[in-house]
Chains A and B, each alone.
Chain A
Amino acid sequence: MLSLLRWVIARDLTLAIRRRADVLTTLFFFVIVVTLFPLGVGPEMDTLRRMGAGVLWVAALLASMLSLGRLFAADHLDGTLEQFLLIPQSLSVVVLGKIIAHWLVSGVPLVLMAPIVGLQYGLSPTALLALLASLLLGTPILSAIGAIGAALTLGLRGGGVLVSLLVLPLYVPVLIFGAGAVDAAVSGLGAEAHLSLLGALLLLALVLSPWTAAVALRISIE
């Protein structure tokens, strides 16, 4: 089972390396959205500091959703998804592998980039650290929940719009606790409580979403 997981992750990472444009699109989208806000709102540090966490988190949310379409659609088109459904082992393992690969490709670059673009909002080192920690815990949840939406809308016309309608409401708790962690750190309350909740959400999502997405895939492929 672990070797299957490793194979799926290795394959998806190889594909991402050979199709670099897709990876960079997500990252550039995130950087550009985050950079546009200070330009539009104006350079008042107090305003920016107050909205920084929210803007960064919303941008991460949208960037992560941008790449959801590719999660299963390409495999569906070329027939590799059918092969996934026909393996002697559990399909959930394959889905978990794809979620992890999706996070490594579209989540980790955002996490690493966030403290740098966060400087534009005048966030203090403690706030940047809280931002890093909350994104590190939160972005895998986005990939996991997104996988369910992507599996449900597979092969539908207008699936892209539908996936955002399905997935964005489910992203709300992650957004609240993620941005809340940074706010709490800024106001000196400590981000531990928010981070613990994010950690709990992450565990829940990692247990439930591979299984749910696998069931959804079986339905979609019929």
Chain B
Amino acid sequence: MLEVANLACIRGERLLFKELSFSIRPGELLVVGGANGSGKTSLLRMLCGLLLPAAGEIRWQGRSMGSMRDVYPAAMMYIGHPNGLKDELTGLENLRFATALSGAPASRERIRRALARMGLGERELLPTGWLSQGQKRRTALARLLLSDCSLWILDEPFTALDKAAVELVQSLLEEHLRDDGLVVLTTHQDLEVAAPRLQRLHLAQ
């Protein structure tokens, strides 16, 4: 369970939000909305620990996030705006390294299956730099299939994706929520996820 209490964010001289509180339980989806520059990405970066909150506290399983630098990162998967892929490496190599970072590298067979499911079956051996924006995004999102993190934090996961891929990612989210996973995401699109419990958070400017 992820709890956020009285969170505030200041970027530069501007106060983006303050006294923000919510909690997400297993199987729950939080959709963060708001205009450009309202602090959606900042909120997500705070949730994964890249940005320190100006005030307030974030708790994971009842414990403050700052006090467990090992447990929390192991339970969380963050896919940000940049895809985090090296153009010179193939999709296979990129994903192998990404999984090795979080502990154990996934087997080639498993990565191949994940890429095939994301519709990149024949392109696993091409350097990522040769792929289109949408295909790069698909490769980055294949990380979701390879991890067993319970909390997913996704910043605009649907950008550059075509219709089929959007549906695929939505079904991935549904599967994860059914397995008692937690998801926080930002999007400007209409989300069609059959989530048993869905919260919406609108960041006003």
Q: Which A residues contact B (CB, under 8 angstroms)?
A: 3-4, 7, 11, 14-15, 18-19, 77-80, 82-89, 221-222
Residues from chain B with a CB closer than 8 A to the CB of A11 are: 86, 89, 97
Q: Quick check: which of B72-80, B114-122, B174-182 contacts chain A, the rest being far away?
A: B72-80
Q: Does B98 contact A (CB under 8 A)?
A: yes
A–B pairs, 14, beta carbons within 8 Å: A7-B100, A7-B105, A14-B88, A19-B88, A77-B82, A79-B82, A83-B78, A83-B101, A86-B76, A87-B102, A88-B70, A88-B71, A221-B50, A222-B51
Quick check: A3 and B88 within 8 Å, CB to CB? no
From A14, A19, A79, A86, give the contact of B93 (CB < 8 A): A14
- The complex places the Cα of A80 from the Cα of B82 at a distance, in Å, of 8
Nearest chain B residue, comparing its CB with the CB of A15: B88
B37 within 8 A of A: no
Residue of A7, A11, A83 with highest tally of chain B CB at under 10 A: A83
Q: Which residues in B have their C-beta under 8 angstroms from that of A4?
A: 100-101
**Contacting residue for A86 out of B52, B73, B89, CB 8 A:** B73
A-B pairs with CB below 8 Å: how many?
A: 69
With a CB–CB cut-off of 8 A, which chain A residues contact B70?
A: 88-89
B48, B82, B87, B93: residue with the most chain A Cβ atoms closer than 10 Å: B82
* A79: contacting residue among B51, B81, B100, CB under 8 A: B81
- Chain B residues, Cβ within 8 Å of A18: 88-89, 127
Instruction: Tell me, in angstroms, the Cα distance from A4 to B71 when the chains sit together.
Output: 17
B94 nearest CB neighbor, chain A only: A80
The residue that B101 contacts in the complex, of A14, A87, A221, with Cβ under 8 A, is A87
**What CA separation (Å) do A82 and B73 show in the bound complex?**
12
Instruction: Kindly list chain B residues whose C-beta atoms are within 8 Å of the C-beta of A221.
Output: 50
Q: Determine if B103 is an interface residue (Cβ-Cβ < 8 Å).
A: yes
CB distance from A32 to the nearest CB of B (A): 27
Minimal Cβ-Cβ distance residue in B for A76: B82
Name 13 extra pairs, CB < 8 A, besides A82-B78, A86-B49, A86-B76.
A4-B100, A14-B89, A14-B93, A18-B88, A18-B89, A78-B83, A78-B87, A80-B85, A83-B84, A84-B101, A85-B50, A87-B73, A88-B103
Q: Which residue of A lies closest to B73 (CB)?
A: A88
